[in-house]
Amino acid sequence: MDDATGFETLGLDTRLLEALDELGYEEPTPIQRAAIPHLLEGKDLVGQAATGTGKTAAFALPLLQRLGEGADDGPPRALVLVPTRELAVQVAQAVHKYGKRLKTRVVAVYGGQAIEQQLRSLRRGVDVVVATPGRALDHIRRESLSLEHVQVVVLDEADEMLDMGFAEDIESILGLTPETRQTVLFSATMPPRIAAIAKAHLRTPERITIARERVAAGEAPKVRQTAFVVMPAYKPAALGRVLDIENPGAAIVFCRTRTEVDELTEVMNSRGYRAEALHGGMTQEQRDRVMKKLRGGTAELLIATDVAARGLDIEHLTHVVNYDVPSAAEDYVHRIGRVGRAGREGVAITLAEPRETRLLRNIEELTRQRIQLAPIPTVADLKARRLDITKAALREAMLAGDLDRYRVVVEALGDEFDVMQIALAAVKLAHEAEAGADDDEQEIPQPPPRRGPADRGPPPRRGPPRGGVVLLHIGLGRAVGMRPQDLVGAITGEAGIPGRAIGAIQIGERFSTVEVLADVANRVVEALRHTRIKGRPVTVRAERPRH
């Protein structure tokens, strides 16, 4: 890594730099390079940047440095508000990894998890709380979360929180924190409501916008571009499944960090691929050895970081895989430009987590090229593909000729078996030799649908959604100040479902009703039973599905 462009230039504590090096981070992203110095100086900041641009490290690293060594007990000194429980867990894990050498204590607080576990963590003492707004207010009302000593507040994906109906909750929470706090706001878009929050609660903030570079039409190569949406835990299995289907001649898989490169290389080798790692932590001799294997055909899969792969030119490359969605459209264009040269067909594959689908739309808009969204191949798809590969191999063998020496085997068996049976047995042996047994293959779960940029804004309130719906009866109403946005915020934030899965809402004096799609009804019921709305426990009952 070049010290002139690395994290060392940003003024970070040595212990944080050691953690980043251990995690395999090679260079700061644009948002990290722009934001970290300002935040280390204690300035408030408004940052406009899309998901996947490295925002978490941009606010977490200076936050950890400002807090210093973790305390043994005591109230939290930093609060990070996020829209969903998935993001709460993700951010909390990142803060824990970055702050390991500082002994930073962090807890994620969100609905859908037993509150007793969160209460125990908060009682033991914690430095950083990462929370959804609804559950944060719940703990504040229970007096299990004190904000009196909070030094830093971060609003991450602020536009998403407002879309989910959390505006008043955010205002209430900010009003309970010290006026001397440092406040950081990140948002993919900057509508007037976000600007109003920034004006009311931030003090002369620095403003950073990570501009999207517009790529000229036709600049991106004409290759087959496909994206598969997959939950993070299933990404290695999904990559193996897709590569099994694609059967590439030679492929590069791009990862974000050195650690991810090393771990994925080990996983892919265990699946039978001849995979080699390439990243900035390797010597030139190691790099040369890897490239010799790839160019000589003794390796078929190169797993690399962007930094390490700069300048590589592999003539027989057939596939490029983005293991993570590139944060910038130009990075995507540069990567897929490595295939589809000299008139040959190239294939670009992207594995996108549900939260990253917005980045795919951004890339499409900027490159003016379509990325086809496809379901993760099933076990049946894999078996059919393996049979196709076997058929192609047999066809190639027949066209190549030189089969006469095997005639004696067929003639000897012909006295006992039908020729078709002999052929079927031969195909079976060839198939198993080529593909191996696939009975232990398991289906990879398809992620639930997530609201995309086209659906942004308030969810529908008139009429049920299309398809089967379930009517939920909620034991709270106008008597406790219940509003439609309170229900929307609780359901989307605590159950983690998109707003489009919610239909008509009616608020009565002592109870309310809400329509939700039948396939998420149980998830909503379970989440609401473990949360509180307006500081009160929720009783919920579901009617039979209606069509």
pLDDT digits (tens, 9 = 90+) for 72-102: 677 899 999 998 877 888 899 899 999 999 9
Compute and round to an integer the Cα radius of gyration of the chain: 27
Is the pLDDT reported for residue 450 higher than 60?
no
Residue with tokens 């935040």: 39
Both tokens of residue 245?
């289907």
Q: Which of 360, 377, 394 is the last residue of a domain?
A: 377
Would you call 453 helix, strand, or coil by DSSP? helix
At 385 the pLDDT is 82
Across the range 519-527, mean pLDDT stands at 86
Positive or negative CA dihedral for 468, 473, 478, 482? negative
At 448 the pLDDT is 61
Q: Rounded to whole angstroms, how far apart are CA atoms 93 and 103?
A: 14
Residue 186 and residue 265 in one domain = no
Domain residue limits at 525: 458-542
In a domain, 426, yes or no: yes
Residue 242 and residue 388 in one domain = no
At 71 the pLDDT is 66
At 70 the pLDDT is 62
Q: Rounded to whole angstroms, how far apart are CA atoms 393 and 476?
A: 66
Is the pLDDT reported for residue 535 higher than 60?
yes
Number of domains in the chain: 4
Contacts of 84 (CB under 8 A, 6+ apart): 110, 132, 160, 492, 493, 496
Which helix or strand (DSSP H or E) is residue 152 part of?
A: strand 152-155
Question: Mind listing the pLDDT tens digit for each residue in 317-348?
Answer: 889 999 988 877 777 887 887 776 555 678 99
Residue 355 and residue 228 in one domain = yes
Q: Rounded to whole angstroms, how far apart are CA atoms 502 and 511?
A: 17
Find, among 405, 404, 422, the residue nearest to 413 by Cα: 422
Question: Which one has a higher pLDDT value, 190 or 498?
Answer: 190
3-state secondary structure 40-93: HCCCCEEEECCCCCCHHHHHHHHHHHHHCCCCCCCCCCEEEECCCHHHHHHHHH
At 315 the pLDDT is 65
Q: Are 116 and 95 in contact (CB under 8 A)?
A: no
| Confidence category of residue 108, pLDDT binned at 50, 70, 90 | very high
Both tokens of residue 71?
């305390």
| Confidence category of residue 204, pLDDT binned at 50, 70, 90 | very high
3-state secondary structure 228-294: EECCHHHHHHHHHHHHHHHCCCCEEEEECCHHHHHHHHHHHHHCCCCEEEECCCCCHHHHHHHHHHH
At 322 the pLDDT is 94
Bridge pairing between strands 469-474 and 512-517: antiparallel
Bridge pairing between strands 206-209 and 224-229: unpaired
Residue 174 and residue 239 in one domain = no
In a domain, 482, yes or no: yes
At 459 the pLDDT is 37
For the domain that residue 507 is a member of, what is the CATH number?
3.30.70.330
* Helical ranges in 324-378 per DSSP H: 329-336, 357-367
At 457 the pLDDT is 36
Q: What are phi and psi of 80, to 5 degrees?
A: -115, 120
Q: Which of 209, 242, 269 is the last residue of a domain?
A: 209
Q: Which of 336, 360, 377 is the last residue of a domain?
A: 377
For the domain that residue 344 is a member of, what is the CATH number?
3.40.50.300
Q: Rounded to whole angstroms, how far apart are CA atoms 159 and 186?
A: 9
At 62 the pLDDT is 96
In a domain, 484, yes or no: yes
Is the pLDDT reported for residue 231 higher than 90?
no
| Range list of β-strands (E), 500-547 | 502-507, 512-517, 532-533, 536-537, 540-542
Both tokens of residue 50?
């899309």
3-state secondary structure 282-333: CCHHHHHHHHHHHHHCCCCEEEEEHHHHCCCCCCCCCEEEECCCCCCHHHHH
- Between CA 406 and CA 415, with CA 410 as vertex, the angle to 5 degrees is 150
At 184 the pLDDT is 96
Candidate from 35-49, 177-191, 394-408 with smallest mean pLDDT: 394-408
Question: Mind listing the pLDDT tens digit for each residue in 139-157?
Answer: 999 899 999 999 999 999 8
Residue 369 and residue 425 in one domain = no
| Confidence category of residue 311, pLDDT binned at 50, 70, 90 | low
Across the range 21-35, mean pLDDT stands at 87
Question: Mind listing the pLDDT tens digit for each residue in 461-497?
Answer: 333 434 467 888 888 888 788 888 778 878 877 787 7
Bridge pairing between strands 301-305 and 347-352: unpaired
Residue 398 and residue 466 in one domain = no
| Confidence category of residue 26, pLDDT binned at 50, 70, 90 | confident
Residue 117 and residue 16 in one domain = yes
Q: What are phi and psi of 343, to 5 degrees?
A: 80, -5
Q: Are 381 and 352 in contact (CB under 8 A)?
A: no
At 52 the pLDDT is 62
Q: Provide the terminal-to-terminal Cα distance of the chain, rounded to the nearest Å.
A: 59
Would you call 137 helix, strand, or coil by DSSP? helix
Q: Rounded to whole angstroms, how far apart are CA atoms 156 and 170?
A: 11
Q: Which amino acid is at 520?
A: V
In a domain, 219, yes or no: no
Q: What are phi and psi of 237, to 5 degrees?
A: -65, -40
Question: Would the pTM count as exceeding 0.75?
Answer: no
| Confidence category of residue 453, pLDDT binned at 50, 70, 90 | very low
At 46 the pLDDT is 95
Which range of 99-108, 243-252, 264-273, 372-381 scores highest in mean pLDDT? It is: 99-108
Question: Which one has a higher pLDDT value, 178 or 337?
Answer: 178
Both tokens of residue 135?
């559950």
Question: Mind listing the pLDDT tens digit for each residue in 293-309?
Answer: 877 778 888 998 876 66
At 2 the pLDDT is 45
What angle, rounded to 10 degrees, do the helices at 329-336 and 357-367 form? Answer: 70
Is the pLDDT reported for residue 177 higher than 60?
yes
Residue 184 and residue 229 in one domain = no
Mean pLDDT of the chain: 82
Q: State percent of the chain over pLDDT 70.
A: 87
| Confidence category of residue 527, pLDDT binned at 50, 70, 90 | confident
Residue 32 and residue 115 in one domain = yes
In a domain, 473, yes or no: yes
- How far lies 479's CA from each of 138, 236, 482, 507, 508, in Å? 18, 50, 7, 10, 8
At 354 the pLDDT is 81
At 538 the pLDDT is 85
Question: Which one has a higher pLDDT value, 58 or 191?
Answer: 58
Q: Are 251 and 301 in contact (CB under 8 A)?
A: yes
Question: Which one has a higher pLDDT value, 160 or 176?
Answer: 176
Q: Are 541 and 471 in contact (CB under 8 A)?
A: no
Q: Rounded to whole angstroms, how far apart are CA atoms 390 and 505?
A: 56
In a domain, 532, yes or no: yes
Is the pLDDT reported for residue 133 higher than 70?
yes
What is the CA 67 to chain-centroid distance, rounded? 28
- CB burial of 229-243 (b: ≥16 within 10 Å; e: otherwise) equals bbbeebbbbbbbbbb
Q: Rounded to whole angstroms, how far apart are CA atoms 133 and 173?
A: 8
In a domain, 139, yes or no: yes
Residue 190 and residue 249 in one domain = no
At 216 the pLDDT is 46
Sheet with 182-187, side-by-side order of all strands: 106-109, 128-131, 78-81, 152-155, 182-187, 45-48, 206-209
Give, as one character, the DSSP assignment of residue 212: P
Q: Are 505 and 524 in contact (CB under 8 A)?
A: no
Residue 162 and residue 242 in one domain = no
Residue 384 and residue 345 in one domain = no
At 479 the pLDDT is 79
In a domain, 445, yes or no: no
